[in-house]
Amino acid sequence: MSGNRVEKFERQMQRELGEIFQQRSRDWFGGAFITVSGVKASPDLGYLKIYISLFNVATRAETLANVELHNKQIRKDLSGRIGKTVRIIPELTFFEDDTLDYVNKFDAIFDDLRKERESRENNNES
């Protein structure tokens, strides 16, 4: 399958899944705010790896497990949205997108380095 077709399919799936989470989030996940940050499709479009960001949750592991618990219903909702455009509704696998955690860690490291450098500069001026 061509790379452009797979990329187009991934973007469409990200959009559709995002809308599903937006509509179902309150009923299924309480006050959790879940966004679909990325989707990777297999070359045959039969499998999707879905990367989700979790906000306003008590425990991320519990929320991710709850997402997996609703996997079949999410897939059914997806089928209702794309069923006429694809032959096979892909299998869904969810992963937590922890990119924001890494960004926060790097920000903290850079802040520490900046403070250390400023401290050394102040000591050299004295």
Q: What is the pLDDT of residue 49?
A: 96
Strand order through the sheet with 33-41:
33-41, 47-55, 91-96
| Token reading at 18 | 């995002």
| Full set of structural domains in the chain with CATH | 3-98 (3.30.300.20)
Residue scoring higher pLDDT (113 or 47): 47
pLDDT of 55-68, one tens digit each?
877 788 888 888 99
Q: What is the pLDDT of residue 101?
A: 67
Q: Does the pLDDT of residue 52 top 80, yes or no?
A: yes
pLDDT of 68-100, one tens digit each?
999 999 999 999 999 888 888 999 999 998 776
pLDDT of 13-36, one tens digit each?
999 999 999 988 888 888 788 889
pLDDT of 95-114, one tens digit each?
998 776 666 777 788 888 88
Nearest-angstrom CA–CA distance, 39 and 14: 6
